């Protein structure tokens, strides 16, 4: 019985109604939608609602508990901010795809069964690829196709996992799964594809920077964070996640340092931040799960803020490469300040949001005495400050003056960035608000003297290192170049595969075709015209080849001439033998064969 409106529904239905509105009414409608949905969400009591019976199972669209609520809240907040940010562009495609995508992500978060979860999961992929395609450049369309291929691959693995899981356990309930049984491993990996695990991660860095300005803001919030949510619900304490997360936190920063496209730098740091969350899930203590949830909440805000500020630069200048930008603080001071606030938040500066959330995961790792993991995460903390915290604002707004003189983005974009920036600072200064909605009771104080000092030391000396390297000319200059990543495997791999199909394999196929359908039948036909003559010619040729040495020259010449004559005369006069005796011998032969088969098979049967 459905007695409440499932939270996903308002967004998904609302998305299809967008074209009905025009002008101001459309703006108001778009902004009201997330507000309405949020009010609806607040009034749904904790528990499971929206249950439908389906083939002896229960589909539960609306499972309200602390973990799902936290993600539900932030998904609503960021939907509102992204819509506000993009409202001046009046692009229906983006608004509809964005709302649909956000609705599906909210649907995943509140699903309590694997079937509806899977449906929302796949719909989310469609929504997100539309956001990429909406940019309508050749690059974005190609990137969208690659994106959708990777995600459907992940979706199929997830589906296989779900079917196996239901078969193994007889239940479609989506709760704690744990790594136990083949189905659970498939589900685990299926979630991992959306979570941008190492090696498979390149769908993210490949496609996010190609989406529309608003599209990237939407994308940065939902896909990976729904994956974090489902992992946190189904696989808390799964040990492989600790190592997967640590690798995710560490390796992207190397790529980010040498990347020229600023949105791609941010995409790499997105993976790096999700790495912290994944480690938190893997540790699986109350503190670490709280840390993961808090970090997801804070991360969605500051990452969106960073993408918004870089998006504003694209909006005004049409450029995004570090080599083309610089000195923009002169004409875009507010955007610059918002970008720095986002940078300070992602770098976990005290009084900014990252500080109060990331440190929970670090503390949880230290509590468990995971020494290597702790060192890797600390390295990642310094590294993220280095590339997202310093590099992005520095190369966009300062560095060398690119000569670009532009102006601030429109008011709605500034307001959206302003609200997001205010939230980042608010969470950083008053973390209790965020702590009060975390899944478990919080007994954690981020603002201790030693924590603040150690974090400040880490950041200040990272900044010192940056300054030192820059002044000494060691810092790698931005170059107009791209860096290949694991998407090379399928981008060049697919081209290689096509080459393989078109060249060696196609040649082989043609040879087979020619042999079986042309050469052999024609030879048979040729042979059947005069078999005796053909055999005789073959005999002559063989005899000549074998005895050439022992024959005299004239004899060899004579035989050669005869072979040539016979070949031109072929088939010549066909001699037909039709003696009765031959036929009788054939019949005798068949009868004998029949007799032998009869006797032998009789023996075998006994």
CB of 286 to other proteins, least distance (A): 17
| Chain centroid offset of residue 567 CA | 66
Q: What is the 3-state secondary structure (H, E, C) of 425-444?
A: HHHHHCHHHHHCCCCCCCCC
Q: What is the DSSP letter of 168?
A: H
Give CA–CA dist 384/302, Å, rounded. 13
Q: CA quadruple 486, 492, 495, 501: dihedral positive or negative? A: negative
Closest separation between CB of residue 470 and other proteins, Å? 10
Indicate the residue among 277 and 382 with the shorter CB distance to other proteins. 382
**Of residues 35, 37, 18, 14, the one with CA closest to residue 26:** 18
The span from the CA of 274 to the CA of 299, in Å, is 9
Nearer to other proteins, 48 or 406 (CB): 406
d(CA 136, CA 148): 16
Whole-angstrom Cα distance, residue 277 to residue 152? Answer: 24
Cβ closer to other proteins: 22 or 136? 136
Q: How many whole angstroms separate alpha carbon 276 and alpha carbon 252?
A: 12
Q: Is the peptide bond before 571 cis (omega within 30 degrees of 0)?
A: yes
Nearer to other proteins, 337 or 537 (CB): 337
Q: Please, what is the minimum distance in Å from the beta carbon of residue 326 to other proteins? A: 11
With b for 16 or more beta-carbon neighbours within 10 A and e for fewer, the 585-597 pattern comes to: eeeeeeeeeeeee
**CA dist 561 to 299, 533, 557, 565, Å?**
90, 16, 6, 6
- Of 310, 297, 231, nearest to 263 by C-alpha is 310
Q: What angle do CA 217, 222, 224 make, to 5 degrees?
A: 110
CB of 158 to other proteins, least distance (A): 29
Q: In terms of CB distance, is 159 or 314 closer to other proteins?
A: 314
Q: Residues 391, 257: contact at Cβ < 8 Å?
A: yes
Q: What residue ranges bind other proteins (CB under 8 A)?
A: 253-255, 257-258, 329-331, 333, 363, 366-367, 369, 371, 374, 378-379, 382-383, 386, 398, 401, 405, 407-408, 448-451, 453-469, 474-476, 479-485, 491
Report in angstroms how near the CB of residue 267 gets to other proteins at its nearest.
15
User: Shortest Cβ distance from residue 483 to other proteins (Å)?
Assistant: 4
CB nearer to other proteins: pick between 20 and 481: 481
- Minimum CB distance to other proteins, residue 453 (Å): 5
Radius of gyration of the chain from Cα atoms?
A: 35
Phi-psi region of 170 (alpha: psi -120 to 50; beta: other; left: phi over 0): left
Answer positive or negative: Cα dihedral of 107, 110, 114, 115. negative
Cβ proximity to other proteins, 405 vs 529, nearer residue: 405
Shorter beta-carbon distance to other proteins: residue 454 or 503:
454
Burial class of residue 452 (count of CB atoms within 10 Å of its CB; 0-12, 13-18, 19+): middle
Beta carbon of residue 149, minimum distance to other proteins (angstroms, whole number): 15
Q: Is the CB of residue 235 less than 8 Å from the CB of residue 279?
A: no
Q: Are 219 and 131 in contact (CB under 8 A)?
A: yes
CB 71 → other proteins: shortest distance, Å? 29
**CB-nearer residue toward other proteins: 128 or 455:** 455
- Minimum separation from the CB atom of position 186 to other proteins (A): 31
Beta bridge partners of 62: 49
Using CA of residue 136, residue 140, residue 146, residue 150, what is the dihedral sign? negative
128/381 with CB nearer other proteins? 381
Nearer to other proteins, 61 or 255 (CB): 255
Mind giving me the DSSP string for 292-355? HHHHHHHHHHHHHHHHHHHHHHHHHHS--BGGG---GGGT-HHHHHHHHHHHHHHTT-TTSHHH
Closer CB to other proteins, residue 81 or residue 283? 283
Alpha-carbon distance of 526 to 536, in angstroms, equals 14
Which CB sits closer to other proteins, 258 or 584?
258
Comparing CB distances to other proteins, the nearer of 34 and 282 is 282
Measured from the CB of residue 327, what is the shortest distance to other proteins in angstroms?
9
* Cβ atoms 391, 468 nearer than 8 A: no
Cα 568 from chain centre: 67
Minimum distance, C-beta of residue 493 to other proteins, in the bound complex (Å): 12
Contact criterion met (CB below 8 Å) for 366 and 374: yes
Using DSSP's 3-state secondary structure scheme, residue 49 falls into strand
CB of 191 to other proteins, least distance (A): 28
User: Smallest distance from the beta carbon of 441 to other proteins, in angstroms?
Assistant: 21
């Amino acid at each position: 019985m459905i007695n409440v409106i499932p939270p996903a529904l308002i967004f998904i239905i609302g998305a299809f109604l967008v074209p009905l509105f025009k002008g101001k009414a459309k703006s108001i409608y778009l902004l009201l939608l997330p507000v309405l949905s949020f009010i609806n969400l607040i009034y749904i009591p904790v528990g499971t609602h929206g249950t439908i019976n389906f083939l002896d199972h229960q589909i539960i669209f609306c499972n309200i508990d602390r973990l799902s609520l936290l993600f539900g809240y932030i998904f609503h907040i960021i939907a509102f901010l992204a819509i506000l940010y993009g409202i001046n562009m009046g692009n229906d495609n983006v608004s509809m795809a964005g709302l649909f995508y956000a609705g599906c992500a909210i649907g995943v978060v509140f699903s309590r069964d694997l079937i509806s979860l899977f449906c929302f999961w796949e719909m989310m992929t469609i929504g997100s690829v539309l956001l990429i395609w909406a940019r309508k450049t050749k690059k974005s369309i190609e990137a969208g196709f690659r994106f959708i291929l990777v995600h459907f691959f992940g979706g199929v693995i997830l589906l296989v996992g779900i079917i196996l899981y239901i078969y193994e356990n007889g239940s479609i309930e989506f709760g704690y799964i744990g790594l136990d049984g083949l189905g659970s491993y498939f589900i685990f990996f299926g979630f991992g594809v959306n979570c941008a695990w190492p090696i498979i991660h390149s769908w993210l860095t490949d496609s996010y920077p190609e989406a529309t300005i608003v599209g990237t803001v939407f994308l940065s919030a939902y896909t990976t964070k729904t994956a974090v949510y489902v992992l946190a619900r189904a696989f808390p304490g799964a040990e492989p996640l600790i190592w997967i997360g640590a690798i995710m936190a560490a390796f992207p920063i190397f790529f980010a340092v040498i990347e020229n496209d600023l949105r791609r730098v941010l995409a790499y740091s997105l993976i790096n931040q999700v790495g912290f969350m994944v480690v938190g899930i893997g540790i699986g203590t109350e503190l670490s799960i709280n840390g993961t949830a808090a970090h997801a909440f804070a991360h969605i805000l500051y990452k969106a803020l960073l993408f918004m500020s870089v998006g504003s630069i694209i909006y005004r200048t049409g450029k995004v490469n570090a080599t083309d930008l610089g000195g923009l603080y002169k004409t875009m001071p507010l955007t610059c300040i918002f970008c720095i606030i986002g940078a300070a938040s992602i770098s976990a500066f005290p009084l900014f949001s990252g500080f109060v959330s990331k440190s929970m995961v670090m503390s949880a790792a230290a509590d468990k005495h995971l020494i290597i993991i702790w060192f890797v995460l600390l390295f990642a903390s310094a590294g993220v400050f280095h590339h997202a915290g310093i590099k992005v604002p520095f190369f966009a707004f300062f560095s060398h003056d690119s000569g670009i003189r532009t102006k601030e983005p429109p008011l709605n974009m500034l307001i959206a960035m302003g609200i997001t920036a205010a939230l980042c600072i608010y969470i950083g200064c008053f973390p209790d608000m965020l702590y009060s909605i975390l899944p478990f009771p919080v007994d954690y104080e981020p603002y201790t003297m030693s924590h603040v000092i150690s974090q400040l030391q880490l950041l200040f000396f990272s900044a010192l290192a940056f300054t030192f390297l820059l002044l000494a000319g060691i810092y790698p200059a931005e170059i107009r170049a791209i860096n290949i990543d694991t998407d090379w495997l399928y981008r060049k791999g697919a081209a290689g595969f096509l080459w393989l199909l078109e060249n060696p394999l196609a040649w082989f196929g043609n040879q087979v075709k020619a042999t079986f359908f042309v050469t052999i039948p024609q030879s048979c036909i040729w042979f059947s015209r005069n078999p005796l003559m053909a055999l005789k010619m073959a005999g002559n040729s063989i005899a000549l080849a074998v005895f050439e040495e022992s024959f005299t020259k004239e004899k060899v010449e004579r035989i050669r001439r005869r072979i040539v004559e016979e070949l031109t005369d072929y088939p010549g006069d066909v001699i037909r033998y039709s003696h009765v005796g031959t036929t009788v011998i054939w019949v005798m032969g068949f009868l004998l064969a029949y007799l032998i088969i009869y006797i032998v098979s009789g023996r075998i049967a006994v």
